[in-house]
Structure 1
């Protein structure tokens, strides 16, 4: 069970009343007169995120009031309860309302996600409030989702000096050991010998050798689900150098890798009936005399020659070789996740990753699962007319054609060229970062898309 949850029996935990403004104004959630007067004297109006501890006659806490504000349920932040761990004193608490099952699920998940602190380099006082699991909530499922989110956040928040390709491989190896999965890693010049030229090209300028991380788990007789995560541990932009401001959070450019590891943790912990494979091309896009350059041409594992339109479009290059490898096994479901384009952020902002697939059932199921888990995604089109923009005059394909339009779509179309045999392919362009703190989502590295995909996999292979 996640450490945010208490083993205290619910009847001994202090109740938390989640009060909407309308309900509070109507009847004060049925408080007795003295409690109502105390709340009014302290200015409690059930505003969004407003908190008040009500005392007993001997000075203990009798209950907690927590405001939900006046927004209707469908527009209210489902993770508002994620503020509570930072507000509550030490002790055991429980939710005491009659919310719907999914609202209670999300409030409980928000409490666990809001308990996260990144304390590797500076002591951070972890919340000492614990939540007694509500009746009817699958606390084991919520615990694994919260643990997975912590894993992704920790990996992304760790700076590049301590989270290079080898460190990322170590994290994957530790996860494999925990679940008795097979682990392999192809390192450095062996990438050329094993036919991964694009991964090698992107990572060869760094003194920290590039590598392809490969984890497999589960019964080979089960349907194959392959996850591919972009593991660019730091992105300078390469020869097409980013500005100083553009590099400020580039430690997060391995967010795709962090999130597929988080997803793998959930899949393996839940023992889903899949044959799971996780592929992570782990590199550092550095600047040196041997760095790859604009207009260079490299072969790919797929056999397509790739002209380099921009060295700062490196993520799609390393994913291309990994996708080609994954596709050789013709998995039932092939999913890639990466922090790939600024264009996706311009279109949808940091909180709403676009996804791409030609599978209509998958698209509708994933959107629904994203809503269920408050892990939203938005489908965007694999617009075939733009595929011609990838043409090169001297190679099979260009990784970043000039023009600048529809950048996220063009990236998805580039990756689609490397997938043929997989029954279904899903591409997700995440941000992997929360720019400013929100309930249950502290500023910094974020777990995006992993919970939504896990819920979909649970429904299909649970």
Structure 2
């Protein structure tokens, strides 16, 4: 992973190129303060201070950098990402204030997933100096969490199976003196039958398991975080077409978000009793694969008729949510790359967000706006609950009709959340289909920073 800590440093007066941040409304006023050669050079290059535009101009034997942003008076997390990716190697200091939240995009512009590109030449570091050193450690931690999600999601399933996902949780536990329990084999089949059923057809090296991590003072409010860890989703016997299977290495994106969020919580020593649960499987095809028509008995005791083996994520989450509620938490959050319906409704940028608590949902959405990591709430519409009725079991995992798919999946999960426990469910894409400044195509953290902002406000 990139050493982000070296890219954001305290400003101690060391040599650095001045970086002027300008927007279109303030361009003329700013130009009026600049020497004539600088004005002439920028005019010649056609610089208009549009957002994500960058210019370098010489003056008095040195260089001046200029970055166009949407609003120079209120820098946002991605305001300087294009500049960081465009400017030459070296150190930079803002000419008009501290970078604030914009340091996040500056750092993440350096992210590269090069595990399988051994001959790729890395671009030189662009170091940002800040006169607000107190924020450096927290900012670097947040960037490292985003990069962890990206790395985990980008890694193919052959190298990021259930065992490797569990190993990431164990690595965090070791770093923060947490305890980890891994349930697998016959114990998993007895205690978490839906997790076992979904994952039992995978090769032994990718055998299903439930990963549990506990950390923090037992006297503090209990915070349960659950992440869907389907290392690869073939669709099972209801097999996906090739186009639908192409990026299914990312179906463990919920687990990546949950693990990264747990790392942030422990790093900041948030005043919570953290309970992290990662049900992790490969939805594979073999003679012992679970089938359409099978009836599974969940950990909670509810029976589920399998009407579609490609609706497997909600099955493994059902058992994990049941476990999370057995010692009732003050707050329960789950992350899952759960439905294509959420992407159809909202696109890749907006995780569909569901909650049984209006105040909690409002706080989460506000935290997303503050972090420039937006969420969008969808309803837990009681009127659709009957659609999950089964002729032979308590409920089905995938109602007929194909309508309101994200809502149906959330309603299914709600059956496994005990009444009275405040709950947030994020149906996140965990993927950028096209690049943006600081956000390359591939795995990404969508909703992570929003929920981290929510937790800081509630528990810090």
Instruction: Quickly name the TM-score band, shorter chain normalised.
Output: over 0.9
- Of 197, 200, 218, which residue of structure 1 is paired with 2:196? 200
> Which residues in structure 2 correspond to 1:89-108 (within 5 Å)?
89-97=88-96, 104-108=99-103
How far apart are the structure 2 equivalents of 1:135 and 1:335?
A: 32
Is the Cα–Cα contact under 8 Å of residues 21 and 72 in structure 2 kept in the other structure? no
How far apart are the structure 1 equivalents of 2:455 and 2:123?
A: 32
How far apart are the structure 1 equivalents of 2:55 and 2:352?
A: 39
Unmatched runs of 5 consecutive residues or more in structure 1: none
How far apart are the structure 2 equivalents of 1:141 and 1:27?
A: 32
Q: Which moved more, 1:77-86 or 1:383-392?
A: 77-86
How far apart are the structure 1 equivalents of 2:285 and 2:87?
A: 48
Alpha-carbon displacement from aligned partner over 1:65-116 (angstroms, at most 9, x marks no partner): 11226x8989x97513111222121211122235xx8xx4331111112221
| Equivalent residues, number | 453
Is the Cα–Cα contact under 8 Å of residues 37 and 59 in structure 2 kept in the other structure? no
How far apart are the structure 2 equivalents of 1:130 and 1:368?
A: 31
Distance 1:3 1:252, change over 3 A: farther
Is the Cα–Cα contact under 8 Å of residues 80 and 440 in structure 1 kept in the other structure? no
> Which residues in structure 2 correspond to 1:119-130 (within 5 Å)?
119-123=114-118, 124=120, 125-130=122-127
Unmatched runs of 5 consecutive residues or more in structure 2: none
Is the Cα–Cα contact under 8 Å of residues 344 and 407 in structure 1 kept in the other structure? yes
Which residue matches 2:430? 432
Distance 1:204 1:29, change over 3 A: farther
2:9 match: secondary structure: coil
Distance apart, 1:54 and its partner CA = 2.0
Moved over 4 A (4+): 71-74
Is the Cα–Cα contact under 8 Å of residues 172 and 263 in structure 2 kept in the other structure? yes
Distance apart, 1:447 and its partner CA = 0.8
> Which residues in structure 2 correspond to 1:31-42 (within 5 Å)?
31-42=34-45
> Which residues in structure 2 correspond to 1:42-121 (within 5 Å)?
42-58=45-61, 60-61=62-63, 63-68=64-69, 79-97=78-96, 104-121=99-116
TM-score relative to the length of structure 1? 0.94
Which residue matches 1:22? 25
- Of 12, 18, 37, which residue of structure 1 is paired with 2:15? 12
Which residue matches 2:212? 214
> Which residues in structure 2 correspond to 1:14-413 (within 5 Å)?
14-28=17-31, 30-58=33-61, 60-61=62-63, 63-68=64-69, 79-97=78-96, 104-123=99-118, 124=120, 125-135=122-132, 138-193=135-190, 195-207=191-203, 208-413=206-411
For the aligned residues, what is the CA RMSD?
1.9
1:455 match: secondary structure: helix
Is the Cα–Cα contact under 8 Å of residues 77 and 103 in structure 2 kept in the other structure? no
